[in-house]
Every structure is written in C-alpha cells, then in structure tokens.
Amino acid sequence: MSGKSVGPQMLLLTMGDVCGIGPEVLAAALAVEQDTRLCVVGDPGVMRRALQRLGLQLPVVTLESPADWQAAAGLPPSCLPVWQPEGLPPDLLSCPLGQIDARAGAAAARCIEAAVGLIQSGDAAGLVTAPIHKEALHAAGVDFPGHTEMLQALAAQGGALKPVRMMLANEELRTVLVTIHCSLRKAIEQINCAIVLETVRIADAALRRFGVARPRIAVAGLNPHAGEGGLFGDEEIQHIAPAIALARAEGIDASGPHAPDTVFMRARHTEARPGAFDVVVAMTHDHGLIPVKYLGVEQGVNVTLGLPFVRTSPDHGTAFDLAGSGRADSSSMRAAIRMARRLLA
C-alpha cells in the first residue's frame, strides 16, 4: 500500500534524540492528539519503550510508508503510527538514556532528512520536530549547530540557501531572531543593516501568511537603552535604525530601535492588556528567547520562518536529566502540533 499520497495536511513528527525526552513527549502528546494526519518518523522499538515508561497502552503500528496510515484498513482506532526510514542505526535501544551518543545523533539527523524528503516529494505538508542534542549530532559527524540550519540546507535541494529565521511564540508573545546559534561575540559581528532588514521582511511576510493583515513589528536594540544615542554603542545608529527606515519605506509597519529591556513587556498580549506589537525582532538568541521562555516553556513553540513548508518544535531541549523518568511535560509538544495544524489550515 506504500506509494499513495498522504495528502497535503499530513504532519510528520521526528522522534528527536533517543537518549533524551523526545520519544516520551511525542508518545504522551500523541496519546492526546489522536489524528489520522500525524505520523512519527523514527524507530518503532524506541516509541514502544517510551509508551511503556509512560504506562500508556497505545499500540505502535509500523508503516511501510506514511501513505499507509490513511490508506490501510483495519488499523486500531487509536494507535501510534511510526514510519522507520532506511539508514537508522540498528541498536538504538542500547543507547544509554541521559547521555550523549553518536548513534542517537545519527538517527536524529536521518529522521529529519527522511521527513524533509517526504515533504519535498509531496507526501506530507509539515514537520514537527522533537528535540535533538547538538553534541550528539557532532559526534555523529553531522556538521550543523541545530535544526534551523539543517532544515535550511535540506530545503535548498542543491541550490542557494534561502534565508530562514527562528520565531519563538506562545499565546502572549512572539519573537523573531536576527542571529541564532553562534557565540555572542560572533552574533554582534554579524549584525548589519542588511541582515536586520532581511529579518524584518521575513517576519512581516510570515505573520501576513499567518493571518495578521498588517503586522506591527517592534525592532529591539542590541545595547542597553538601545544605545542611548551612541553612549552605550553605535550598532543602533549604524545598522538597526537604517534597516527600520528602509523597511518602513517598503510599507512595513516597523518601529524602533526599542530598549531591549522593556520592549517585550510592551509587546506581551494578555486578556487584561492587548500588546502594542504583534512581534518583536531581537538581535541575539538570548535577548529574544529569555522573555518567551520565562512566560512558560510548556506553551512555547519554535517556528522556522522562510522554509517552503511548515516546521514547528517544542520550546525545550533533550532534558537528559528527565529521560526515562516519565516525568517530562508534553505540553510544549502538544502546542507545537496544534500550531502546525493552524499554520496548515
């Protein structure tokens, strides 16, 4: 029954690093988010172990192809469908939980590659990724610092890399990052007018696709008090303000540079007070992610902007200290699945 199209709304979920909590939060989420449009890309034995540790009776159904999930007859009404791509290490259950293992890194990378391949062939529309461990990737010889860069390269299909950005979002706040996985020193060196303008354009285009008619984009400064007129640094004067001016000339509702220690409070949306902005563009990884994560990791979702397909992930890492305990919270994974569904609607 393989080879049949699974339809444009199929969501693939990669199992992440098998030594971390990825398989467990996936299993817990899928026990709640039952949907014929969901299929795990990973190792069936690993997923069975995760279900057992959680005390869940959900049967694992191994598919020859994700197309089987909708095409096959007689599957249990509630089950966990898993498609195992070729090339996974054969001994993943022997990988020690809570530790870095090259086999786990290789398996995580292979699942991502295979899932993107299915999307590119038209067999799926979107991707939700469980957490991977960067050191395990490197131990496996995978030369990417994280999901974002790997997905960017896979989406290029041999052509030029298209610009992508990381957005972290929950019900109260959205942030888009200019720079991501590099040292703070390198991040500051990378900031220039062109990269800030590109980020603002990507954020504006993405929010319009998500249904925001005219996104209000607050651009945060880099330095304390957004540089205080050059007293605390001139990146705002040299690079950030000119980028905002160019964006506004294109019709984008961008403002700033705003002081990075207060702009997130102004952008936060609550029932008591609507936010002044729809999204904040932050210059560095921690500037942008700390405020969203402080509001609650359990509801945060990472969305990769600029890809030719939907990709979301939970707002947490592999949590080696919780692996195998059954105590990992699946809320962020469920939020990532729901976000992907909304973006595909």
Could you tell me if 344 and 9 are in contact, meaning their C-beta atoms sit under 8 angstroms apart? Answer: yes
Domains of the chain as residue ranges with CATH: 11-163+318-344 (3.40.718.10), 171-291 (3.40.718.10)
Residues of the chain with pLDDT under 50: 1-8, 72-73
Phi, psi torsion values for 267, nearest 5 degrees: -85, -20
- How confident is the model at residue 6, as a pLDDT? 45
- How confident is the model at residue 36, as a pLDDT? 67
Q: Which of 344, 335, 334 is nearest to 29 (CA)?
A: 334
Task: Give the chain's length.
Answer: 345
- How confident is the model at residue 227, as a pLDDT? 85
- How confident is the model at residue 4, as a pLDDT? 42
- How confident is the model at residue 298, as a pLDDT? 72
For the chain, percent helix, then strand, then coil, each to nearest 5? 40, 15, 45
Q: What is the DSSP letter of 121?
A: T
Give the count of beta carbons closer than 10 Å to the beta carbon of residue 141. 10
Tell me the whole-structure pTM to 2 decimals: 0.87
| H or E segment and range at residue 336 | helix 331-344
What confidence tens digit (pLDDT) does each residue in 57-88 have? 899 999 887 666 655 445 666 889 999 999 99
- How confident is the model at residue 209, as a pLDDT? 87
**Rounded Cα–Cα distance for residues 138 and 142 (Å):** 5
Give me 313's structure tokens.
């992930």
**Rounded Cα–Cα distance for residues 179 and 187 (Å):** 6
**Rounded Cα–Cα distance for residues 178 and 92 (Å):** 36
Please report, for residues 24, 26, 96, 128, 236, the alpha-carbon distance to residue 56 in angstroms, rounded to integers and kept in the order given: 11, 12, 22, 22, 53
Contacts of 295 (CB under 8 A, 6+ apart): 170, 172, 173, 268
- How confident is the model at residue 95, as a pLDDT? 97
What confidence tens digit (pLDDT) does each residue in 80-111 have? 999 999 999 999 999 999 999 999 999 999 99
Q: Which of 220, 156, 247 is nearest to 164 (CA)?
A: 156
- How confident is the model at residue 256, as a pLDDT? 96
